[in-house]
A and B are shown apart, each in its own frame.
Chain A
Amino acid sequence: MDVPLSALFVLLVTNGVFGAIVCAVLLRLMAPTPLGTTRTILIGLGIAPFVVAWMLNILLAIVPGIPAPLVFMAMIGLAIALGWVAGNGWSLLLDHVRSWPGLVKDRSFWPFLFFLAAMVFGAQLMLRYKPLVDHDILEYGTQGLRFLTEMEVRYEKHHFDTATGFYYVGLHGFGFPLLFTWEGLLRGLFNDGGDAWVRSMTPFYATITVALLWSTVRRYDKWVAVWAAGAFTLTLGFLYLNTIYHVDPVRLFLFSASLLLFMMALDQPSWVVLVLWAILMGMHAFVHSLGMILAPFMIFTFLLFASTSWPFRLRQVAAVAMVFLIAGGAHYVLDVVWGTGWLMKDITWF
């Protein structure tokens, strides 16, 4: 199974170009915080595809039937605006990229590189030999292609396709299905279709999740980071995380990143940290219900343990809740009010 060039184009545009733009923006904003360059870049790479999906959700919900060229123009406009906001973040990004060759002198980097190489090897085997066959992602994919056909996102009681009889049973935010829509839109430019790019997102997010764990523990001790990455990647669950096409690696990454920012917010609740924390929680909710369920508990814990004065803390929590809703949490409010009812109904577990 060959990977078509149009899928590589989606990878280049979304993860490469847009990923770099989001990284540059975050580097500029997060520079004064203790997050550090590596983790900022990983978070930027992780949220970039979902900034695209988030924008797509808004466009397809507000302008049903929107022509594809208008979607592209909106995306290009968003990219240009963010690229301009990035300012000196670009030079910080370039400086960091230039420092990568120096890492090879660090002996503790080699075992980690070995884990990464093993993952890349496994990923290419899987992408070549495994089409989209796993149950849940086929449902996400079918719904995503329905969004593409209709160019519309609706909040309705039953996601039922009268033409085919398909019923979308998913209760989560539309973030993941919209990746299929995005791939379909971009590959449509080449009169092509398929899902190779979305499939590649499973090993991509599994890899950056390991990298996030490694870079976080590395701040404590660079060798302990290697063994932590080893203990994680050598589990059978991680093997499945890498080889079963699913939303799980995305979920794990966004949750782990939001937990990291939650810790930072408790230590140093600057506004940029709070906003990025809220965005990560929102993005997590945008891809999965668990993000919506856990976020209020995380925010409540912040309310209890933050070190700022109570009036200021309440203002911070209100702002975090607002950004969280805008970044993805609002999906569930809409879904409860106008849509499926989310968890406020009898659920059949598959």
Chain B
Amino acid sequence: MLVPLGSILFSLLYFLVWMPVKAEPGELALFERGIGSPLLKLLNGYLGSFFNLRFLGNTVIWSVPILIALFIRWRFLTPSLRGLLIFLSLAVIIIGGAGGFNYRYAMTLLPTLIGAVMIAFSRRMELDGLTTRRRHFVLIALALATVVNSKLAMDLAGRMALHDPIDRARVIDDEPFYTKFDTGPEDLDGWLSSAGIGPADRVLVNNLPVYFYETDRPGLYYWCGADQYFGPEGERPIFRGRTDDEVIHHLIKELDTRYIFSDLDLSRYDVRFEQFLADHCRLIAQDEKGHTLHALPDTFGH
């Protein structure tokens, strides 16, 4: 029973001690990916395939000692187990090194590692002479420790949202959870028309591909987090190397764009972009899900 208890203890440490609930200024992207400190970068990033407890649960942490034990017993392994061990180790390094910033990549090995942990523990207990009933009791406890972990993960998500001025409203409203699935704009085309955007008006779209999926309107695909728009020749910056007045001129005169479609959450990924919207643009529409439509000042400064 030490193993399921160890899982729960590790989860408590992870969620209640190590994981922050509030982003440091300017570090929103790192915070949201859970890699905002050197320790978290190691756990959730490089070793994310084992220790990203927010998403992967706490069973998979036991694959670390199991893999180490298999390496120690290398000469007793069959060729297929040796191959699996080497490949899994390479995959962990590749995924952790290249894709560790994203939990979705860390999940790649999850089914395999959970299967391996369950079989390895069962086999070990069998060799230790535990009865079938006791073996299954331990494995059920291990699976149930995942429930505790998921509860802690949801609790953390709730606490993080409460510290977030934009997510807070969504968390505290009492509507059924499934009504919150639809985070997209309602009737986007109609919303744009009612805000006075003509069918030929080009809109700067801040990382909201729904614009291109749901409408046939012309747009300029942009991501403020990296300050780049995508044109026929690839990426170009808008703000970098330009003053705000030059940005306005560049958008209107060179990019033929007078409107900016974003949402409150995405606009936060670049402080200057967010400030530019506040200082130089006029908010002409905002829906209840936080989508915003701004207009740049016209010739007369309106």
Binding site for B on A (CB under 8 A): 125-126, 129-133, 135, 138-139, 141-142, 145, 157-158, 160-167, 169, 209-210, 212-213, 216-217, 220-221, 223-224, 227-228, 230-232, 234-237, 239-241, 243, 246, 248, 251-252, 255-256, 259, 262-264, 266-267, 290, 293-294, 297-298, 301-302, 304-307, 348-350
Q: Which residues of A contact B50 (CB under 8 A)?
A: none
In the assembled complex, the CB of B51 is this many whole angstroms from the nearest CB of chain A, namely 13
Q: A231-B143, A305-B82, A305-B83 are in contact. Are A237 and B57 (CB under 8 A)?
A: yes
Q: Kindly state whether residue B16 has any CB partner on chain A within 8 Å.
A: no
The distance from the CB of A306 to the nearest CB of chain B, in whole angstroms, is: 7
Binds A, one of B145-153, B160-168, B189-197: B145-153
A263–B84 touching, CB < 8 Å: yes
Encode contact with A along B82-103: 1 for CB under 8 Å, 0 otherwise: 1110110011001100110111
Partner of A160, one of B90, B95, B108, B231: B231
Contact flag A231-B87 (CB < 8 Å), given A145-B213, A237-B107: no
Q: How long is the Cα–Cα vector from A243 to B213 in the complex, in angstroms?
A: 20
- Give Cα A130 to B56, complex, Å: 24
Write 27 A-B pairs (CB below 8 A) sorted by A numbering: A131-B184, A132-B213, A133-B182, A141-B213, A142-B212, A142-B213, A158-B232, A158-B234, A160-B231, A160-B232, A163-B216, A166-B209, A167-B221, A228-B114, A228-B119, A231-B118, A232-B57, A232-B111, A236-B153, A237-B57, A266-B80, A293-B94, A297-B87, A297-B94, A305-B82, A305-B83, A307-B79
Closest to B146 in A: A234
- B79 near A227: Cβ-Cβ < 8 Å: no
Q: Given A235-B56, A262-B87, A304-B86, are A252 and B178 also a contact pair (CB < 8 Å)?
A: no
Q: Which chain A positions have C-beta within 8 A of B216?
A: 163-164
Cβ of B286: which chain A residues have Cβ within 8 Å of it? none
Task: Kindly list chain B residues whose C-beta atoms are within 8 Å of the C-beta of A301.
Answer: 83, 86-87, 90
Residue of B nearest to A249 (CB): B107
Of B55, B83, B103, which contacts A302 at CB under 8 A? Answer: B83
> Would B80 and A216 count as touching, CB distance under 8 A?
no
A350 touches B223 (CB 8 A): yes
B232 with A135: CB separation less than 8 A:
no
Q: CB distance B57 to A169 under 8 Å?
A: no
Q: Which residues of B contact A163 (CB under 8 A)?
A: 216, 218
Chain B interface size, under 10 / 10 to 19 / 20 to 34 / 35 or more? 35 or more
Q: Are B122 and A221 in contact (CB under 8 A)?
A: yes
B79 contacts A231, C-beta separation under 8 Å: no
Name the residue of chain B whose CB is nearest to the CB of A127.
Answer: B181
The residues of B with any CB-CB pair to A shorter than 8 Å are: 54-57, 59, 78-80, 82-84, 86-87, 90-91, 94-95, 98-99, 101-105, 107-108, 110-112, 114-115, 117-119, 122, 136, 139-140, 142-143, 146-147, 149-150, 153-154, 178-179, 181-184, 202, 207-210, 212-213, 216-221, 223, 225-226, 228, 230-235
Q: Cβ of A129: which chain B residues have Cβ within 8 Å of it?
A: 178-179, 181-182
B57–A236 contact, CB under 8 A? yes
Among A227, A236, A240, A267, contact of B80 (Cβ-Cβ < 8 Å)? A267
Query: Count of A-B contacts with CB under 8 A?
Result: 204
The reply to whether B219 and A164 contact each other, CB–CB distance below 8 Å, is yes
**Chain B residue contacts of A227, Cβ below 8 A:** 118, 136, 139-140, 142-143
Cα–Cα, bound, A230→B118 (Å): 11
Which B residue's beta carbon lies closest to that of A307?
Answer: B79
Closest chain-B Cβ to A69's Cβ sits at a distance in Å of 25
Q: Which residues of B contact A302 (CB under 8 A)?
A: 83
Residue of A nearest to B185 (CB): A133
Q: State the 10 A-B residue pairs at the shortest beta-carbon distance, nearest first.
A: A167-B230, A237-B55, A130-B181, A235-B57, A305-B83, A133-B184, A266-B80, A138-B209, A230-B143, A166-B212
- The minimal Cβ–Cβ distance linking B187 to chain A, given in whole angstroms, is 12
CB distance from B147 to the nearest CB of A (A): 5
B87→A298 contact, CB < 8 A: yes
Q: Are B111 and A213 in contact (CB under 8 A)?
A: yes
| CB within 8 Å for A213 and B179 given contacts A252-B107, A305-B82, A348-B228 | no
Contacts of A306 in B (CB 8 A): 79, 83
Q: Interface centre among B54, B115, B220, B228, by most A CB within 10 Å?
A: B115
- Min CB distance A310 to B, Å, is 14
Task: Return the contact of A236 from the options B140, B150, B210, B228 (Cβ within 8 A).
Answer: B150
Cβ of A231 and Cβ of B57 under 8 Å apart?
Answer: yes
Residue of A nearest to B150 (CB): A236
Residues on the B chain within 8 Å of A246, using CB: 104
18 A-B pairs besides A135-B208, A237-B107 with CB distance below 8 A are: A129-B181, A129-B182, A130-B178, A138-B209, A158-B234, A162-B232, A163-B218, A220-B122, A223-B139, A227-B140, A227-B142, A236-B150, A236-B154, A246-B104, A294-B91, A301-B83, A302-B83, A348-B235
- CB of B151 to closest CB in A, whole Å: 9
* Measured CA separation A142–B221 after assembly (Å): 13
Most interface-central of B56, B139, B220 (chain A CB within 10 A): B139
B289 to chain A, nearest CB (A): 9
